[in-house]
Chains A and B, each alone.
Chain A
């Protein structure tokens, strides 16, 4: 989330005070109109948690808004509940359960398919209420008794009164904004934001991303239900049309118009949208024509919405985070000698891609505390092997044992948490975060649970220390606050390794750590790897033979998916078959 500049912060404070004063200075019509806008703003904010922060474009969000209203209507009609406490808590539970069900089924898909499956579920819910006689069918339901707020049997206020309702709605909007602000700074918020930038990397760092998506989806669904509850109170009725896809589209419009990925954007969007509707519909009967033209113009001219424009106009340098004081980079004390035997083993590991056998019956042993290099020409199956070991791919056949335990078919995040960290051949960083933040996300994956919602992630001292230690080991200490996208290629490769180290692995899988580097940078990384190798087991794929011979204890040669030799470096080096098949060609070519 971009940190806000002073002019925007001041405007937000002024706007909040102005909103608090509305009932004193405004007529009845406008109080009602603004109440309506604030409800829409809360609804839009809940959607922005998905679209702007989690990266899930839901086209069915109106279903939860509608469910919130229906749940209130049904509770007051059938159960006779009139207390805010009862109706609201049950409403939130209903919406949370519905979101959990829809979310659990939908997050398996991604991209356009996610957009469409959320639409499908919303349409199912819409048609259910539209066709259900007992819930009023297409006419909907009226809410005859507005909920009351009572403490200890004393009725303090009810929501019949317009001013009271206004202040309740206003408070809910502010509370929602504060809640989301806190949430997004928490470890949980850091992970969902990281996930939006780079899903694969986040999973490889050990975060079970589906669970994060699901929690985010549930929170968004409950907040939408809260907005729907308030909307139903305001208008005194619910209608299935509130859940239809047009409403989902409308709120999506509000979020995009206002600006995704900011908390004040959806509020701005709600104001602009409703006021425009109000203004234009007074001008002409065919106001939707103008509205359509405005929507088209906004997409073409303001792709980041109004908030994006404001942020752009008042841009400032990102604030650097204060450095934690205790930065003693003590090496990990690992008694390498005590760990004997293989830390990782594969047996007849095979991967077929529709007919092509990328890895064929590979049986390998990776000894604890050793450096094991895998070499082979392009297309030999080396990266496929790493992807199998790290869980990105599941093998067609064979098994993988880590520390004696069968881990075949485990997902990448749980493999990472067991202590196998991997780097990527093509640099795979969070380019819009700085080096420290990249490592912090990585280190955070080692917390027993990152599902912490309230404390800011920057307060986790232990995590910050791990991140700094990893950066220091890789010589990136001085660059902590530089954006990953601003680093040189060599430094990005170091950051790749630093991120893996920050997850505190026992075994590192490094996919061509020296790829694309100059001689000087290569030497630096090689020295870094030597230091890392003192207290870690390393498996690396590399094309640079000199480097491999300098660092590796064990060597495996792969050609066309087959392991043609594996063993101590010197032995494999002098192996005739290897020389013929691979090294020989290489020498001849050079």
Chain B
């Protein structure tokens, strides 16, 4: 590969990794603080993508669609946490897996009832539709850079709110010792609701941003879910830093795997995860027993 192509693949890998981070950050916090394995996390990604498609058709603008869909998915996350997930705290992982699997079935079917089985495309907003010419032959779409920029802003926002706000302090405390936070008299049910709905909204945002490049199709939530779990496990459960590094590793490994070993590309990320777990059985930054 010539340097230009490598640069483009590198940017693609980063962009994919950053998108994964938006999803995995929520998943790892829900794991680490709520102690819940949420298989339905991918459903929020799918719902975000479908909302972006549907609202942008209705309003004619992706930006408006995102502005409307973001609070909607925050609300949806809150509802799911209050009426389903909150019944599972302190339960066996097995029950959490089962219940959230049931939620996947429900969300998938609702999606089919509302939006049908067709694959939909979402146009890239005109203002971001251009490409940047890297060399004479190689160009890079502005929209992908835009996604990366939004994700970096999201990550920075997350970093600041975790390190500089009261809620963030509780989140940090909660991810290192959930029991202690409860014993200290912090209203955990509110903390849990906030973490879950913000996690859901970030994941939905990832779905909205990805809609124009990946198209919108049934079952899109499950593929991203499994990859996000891989990210979380590589990074270590409950660790935001781990989720970030894991996202980057998976994003780059997947992108370069597709180019370099196309026949085994789908296996690359799983092989990477297996290798990391053999080296560190609790992920790169995982400390506590899961």
**Residues of chain A at the chain B interface (Cβ within 8 Å):** 51, 57, 59, 105, 108-113, 115-117, 119-121, 123-124, 127-128, 130-131, 245-246, 249, 252-253, 256, 260, 286, 288-289, 291-296, 298-300, 303
Q: Which single member of B108, B226, B277 contacts A113 (CB below 8 Å)?
A: B277
Contact B237 A112 (CB under 8 A): yes
Q: Does B94 contact A (CB under 8 A)?
A: yes
Nearest chain B CB to A304's CB is how many angstroms away? 10
Closest Cβ neighbor of A246 among chain B residues? B222
Interface digits, B84-127 against A, CB 8 Å rule (1 contact, 0 not)?
10011001111101110111111011101100000000000000
Q: Which single member of A124, A291, A298 contacts B267 (CB below 8 Å)?
A: A124
CB pairs A–B below 8 angstroms (10 shown) = A57-B93, A108-B278, A109-B277, A112-B93, A112-B233, A120-B270, A131-B267, A249-B39, A296-B99, A299-B102
CA distance A253 to B263 in the complex (A): 32
Q: Does B229 contact A (CB under 8 A)?
A: yes
Nearest chain A CB to B52's CB is how many angstroms away? 23
**Residues of chain B at the chain A interface (Cβ within 8 Å):** 31, 37, 39, 84, 87-88, 91-95, 97-99, 101-106, 108-110, 112-113, 222, 226, 229-230, 233, 237, 263-264, 266-267, 270-271, 273-274, 277-278, 281-283, 286, 289-290
CA distance A110 to B277 in the complex (A): 11
Nearest chain B CB to A358's CB is how many angstroms away? 18
Nearest chain A CB to B40's CB is how many angstroms away? 10
In the complex, which of the residues A123, A293, A294 has the most CB atoms of chain B within 10 Å of its own CB atom?
A123
Contact B289 A110 (CB under 8 A): yes
Contact B97 A120 (CB under 8 A): no
Contact A124 B229 (CB under 8 A): no
Contact B230 A120 (CB under 8 A): yes
Closest Cβ neighbor of B283 among chain A residues? A113
Decide yes or no: A286 and B109 within 8 Å by CB, A108-B278, A113-B281, A123-B226 being known contacts.
Answer: yes
Decide yes or no: A105 and B274 within 8 Å by CB, A115-B93, A256-B94, A303-B91 being known contacts.
Answer: yes
CA distance A57 to B37 in the complex (A): 13
Contact B102 A295 (CB under 8 A): yes
Closest Cβ neighbor of B236 among chain A residues? A113
Nearest chain A CB to B86's CB is how many angstroms away? 11
List 7 additional contacts besides A116-B229, A123-B270, A296-B84; criterion CB under 8 Å.
A119-B229, A121-B274, A123-B266, A124-B270, A124-B271, A253-B98, A293-B102
Q: Which single member of A117, A295, A298 contacts B274 (CB below 8 Å)?
A: A117
Contact B233 A116 (CB under 8 A): yes
Closest Cβ neighbor of B264 among chain A residues? A131
Decide yes or no: A120 and B273 within 8 Å by CB, A113-B281, A296-B102, A303-B91 being known contacts.
Answer: yes
Closest Cβ neighbor of B277 among chain A residues? A117
Contact B105 A111 (CB under 8 A): no
Chain A hits for B92, CB < 8 A = 303
Contact A260 B94 (CB under 8 A): yes
Contact A111 B289 (CB under 8 A): yes
Chain A hits for B281, CB < 8 A = 108-110, 113
Chain B hits for A110, CB < 8 A = 281, 289-290
Decide yes or no: A256 and B98 within 8 Å by CB, A119-B226, A131-B264, A289-B113 being known contacts.
Answer: yes
CA distance A245 to B286 in the complex (A): 24
CA distance A130 to B290 in the complex (A): 32
Nearest chain B CB to A197's CB is how many angstroms away? 14
In the complex, which of the residues B87, B105, B108 has the most CB atoms of chain A within 10 Å of its own CB atom?
B105
Chain A hits for B101, CB < 8 A = 249, 253, 295
